[in-house]
Structure 1
Amino acid sequence: MTIRTLSFLFLLLSSLTLQAQVQDSSYIDELKEEISILKTTELIQSMSQRSEIMPSYHTELKALIAKQAYDFWVENEGEKYVSHKNVYAALYYANKYLNYDSTTFQSYNQVMAHSESVVSLKFGPDSSTFYSAGSDGRVLKWNLNDIKGIPTVLYQGDHLIKSIDVSHDGQILMITSKSDGIFFVKTKDILSEGETISHDPELVQNATFFPNEYKYLTVNQSGQIRIKGFNVDSTLNRSNNQAVNTIMIDESGKEVFLGGKKGQLEIINDRSDSSYFIPELFAINALAISPDKKLLAIGREKGDAVLYDLEKKKIKRIISGHQSAVTDVDFSNDNQHLLTASRDATTRIWDINNSRVMPLILDDHEDWVFCAKFTPDGKRVVTGSKDKHIRVWTIDFEQLADRICQLVDRNLTADEWDEYVGDTFSYQETCPNIEN
Structure 2
Amino acid sequence: MSSERLAIEKSVAADVQKREAISHRKIAEQQQLIANEERRMAEEQKLYALQQRKEAIYQKSLALKAKNVAEKAEEEAVEAKQEAERLRDTALIEKQRAEEQKERAELSEARTDTLRRLAVAKSLSVQAVKIFKNNQKTEKLNQEQADLPLIMAYQAYYFNKRYKGNPYDPDVYAALSAVSNSSVSIRGQNIHTDAVRDVAVAPGGKFFVTCSDDGTVKKFKFTDPENPESYKMPKDKEYRFRSVAIDSKQGMVMVGTYDGKILVWNSPNDLKTILVGNKLSINQLVVLKEKDRLISVSNDGYVRSWNMADFQSAAELVFQVNEKFTSCAVNYDESKFAVASTKGMIRIFDASTYELISTYESKEGNIQALCWNKKDELLIGYASGKLEMTVDGKGTSMFAHASGVNEIAFDDEKNRMITCGYDGKIKIWDYSNLDAEPSVIDGHNDWVYCIALGNDKSTVVSGGADNGILLSKINIEDLKNLIRKNVSKNMSYKNWLNYVGEDIDYFKTLPND
Task: Pick the TM interval, shorter chain.
Answer: 0.7 to 0.9
Counterpart residue number, 2:381: 299
Distance of 1:237 and 1:123 partners within structure 2: 26
Counterpart residue number, 1:202: 277
* Contact 2:360/2:393, CA 8 A, preserved across alignment: no
SS of 1:225 mapped into structure 2: strand
The CA deviation at 1:22 is 6.1
Counterpart residue number, 1:365: 444
* Matched residue type, 1:202: G
Counterpart residue number, 1:272: 356
* Matched residue type, 1:295: E
Q: How does 1:341-356 map to 2 (within 5 A)?
A: 341-356=420-435
Counterpart residue number, 2:207: 129
* Contact 1:380/1:395, CA 8 A, preserved across alignment: yes
The CA deviation at 1:308 is 2.0
Structure 2 residue aligned with 1:85, among 170, 175, 178? 170
Counterpart residue number, 1:172: 252
Q: How does 1:310-329 map to 2 (within 5 A)?
A: 313-329=392-408
When residues 155 and 340 of structure 1 are mapped into structure 2, their CA distance, relative to the original with a 3 A threshold, is farther
Distance of 1:209 and 1:24 partners within structure 2: 61
* Matched residue type, 1:288: C
Question: What are the ranges of 5 or more consecutive residues in structure 2 without an aligned counterpart?
Answer: 1-75, 136-145
Distance of 2:303 and 2:111 partners within structure 1: 60
Larger Rg: 2
Question: What are the ranges of 5 or more consecutive residues in structure 1 without an aligned counterpart?
Answer: 97-106
The CA deviation at 1:256 is 3.5
SS of 1:308 mapped into structure 2: strand
The CA deviation at 1:169 is 1.7
Per the normalisation by structure 2, the TM-score is: 0.70
Q: Which deviations, in whole Å up to 9, do the C-alpha atoms of 1:297-337 show, x marking residues without a partner?
A: 2222111222221xxx1231223131121111111132722
* Contact 2:177/2:183, CA 8 A, preserved across alignment: no
* Matched residue type, 2:457: G
* Matched residue type, 1:172: M
When residues 244 and 266 of structure 1 are mapped into structure 2, their CA distance, relative to the original with a 3 A threshold, is same
Q: How does 1:105-124 map to 2 (within 5 A)?
A: 108-112=183-187, 113-124=191-202
Distance of 1:159 and 1:30 partners within structure 2: 64
Distance of 2:492 and 2:334 partners within structure 1: 61
Structure 1 residue aligned with 2:163, among 76, 89, 93? 76
The CA deviation at 1:202 is 2.9
SS of 2:436 mapped into structure 1: coil
Distance of 1:199 and 1:377 partners within structure 2: 32
Distance of 1:363 and 1:411 partners within structure 2: 30
* Matched residue type, 1:88: Y
The CA deviation at 1:369 is 0.6
Please tell me whether residue 66 in structure 1 is matched to residue 141 in structure 2. no
Distance of 1:19 and 1:216 partners within structure 2: 68
SS of 1:51 mapped into structure 2: helix
* Contact 1:202/1:220, CA 8 A, preserved across alignment: no
Equivalences, count? 407
Q: Which deviations, in whole Å up to 9, do the C-alpha atoms of 1:257-312 show, x marking residues without a partner?
A: 22112222122344436531112212x222212134x1112222111222221xxx
Counterpart residue number, 1:240: 321
Counterpart residue number, 2:373: 290
Q: Which deviations, in whole Å up to 9, do the C-alpha atoms of 1:71-100 show, x marking residues without a partner?
A: 1111114x528x82221122222224xxxx
* Contact 2:204/2:455, CA 8 A, preserved across alignment: no
Counterpart residue number, 2:134: 57
Counterpart residue number, 1:37: 114
Please tell me whether residue 330 in structure 1 is matched to residue 409 in structure 2. yes
Distance of 1:300 and 1:18 partners within structure 2: 56
Counterpart residue number, 1:102: none
* Contact 2:201/2:453, CA 8 A, preserved across alignment: no
Per the normalisation by structure 1, the TM-score is: 0.81
Counterpart residue number, 1:406: 485
When residues 219 and 370 of structure 1 are mapped into structure 2, their CA distance, relative to the original with a 3 A threshold, is closer
* Matched residue type, 1:63: L
When residues 430 and 142 of structure 1 are mapped into structure 2, their CA distance, relative to the original with a 3 A threshold, is farther
The CA deviation at 1:233 is 3.0
Question: RMSD of the alignment, in Å?
Answer: 3.3
When residues 419 and 253 of structure 1 are mapped into structure 2, their CA distance, relative to the original with a 3 A threshold, is closer
Taking every aligned residue pair, what percent have the same amino acid on both sides? 21
When residues 21 and 247 of structure 1 are mapped into structure 2, their CA distance, relative to the original with a 3 A threshold, is closer
Counterpart residue number, 1:420: 499
* Matched residue type, 1:303: G
Structure 1 residue aligned with 2:218, among 140, 159, 175? 140
Structure 2 residue aligned with 1:259, among 311, 331, 340? 340
* Matched residue type, 1:266: R
Please tell me whether residue 212 in structure 1 is matched to residue 290 in structure 2. yes
When residues 211 and 417 of structure 1 are mapped into structure 2, their CA distance, relative to the original with a 3 A threshold, is same
* Contact 1:333/1:376, CA 8 A, preserved across alignment: no
When residues 411 and 170 of structure 1 are mapped into structure 2, their CA distance, relative to the original with a 3 A threshold, is farther
Q: Which moved more, 1:55-64 or 1:229-238?
A: 229-238
The CA deviation at 1:424 is 3.5
Distance of 1:37 and 1:138 partners within structure 2: 52
- Write 1 or 2 for the structure with the bigger share of helix: 2
* Contact 1:167/1:213, CA 8 A, preserved across alignment: no
Distance of 1:174 and 1:68 partners within structure 2: 46
Q: Which moved more, 1:361-370 or 1:231-240?
A: 231-240
Distance of 2:98 and 2:421 partners within structure 1: 57
Distance of 1:374 and 1:87 partners within structure 2: 21
When residues 84 and 221 of structure 1 are mapped into structure 2, their CA distance, relative to the original with a 3 A threshold, is closer
Q: Which moved more, 1:343-352 or 1:400-409?
A: 400-409
Distance of 1:352 and 1:26 partners within structure 2: 33
SS of 1:373 mapped into structure 2: strand
The CA deviation at 1:339 is 1.3
When residues 29 and 298 of structure 1 are mapped into structure 2, their CA distance, relative to the original with a 3 A threshold, is closer
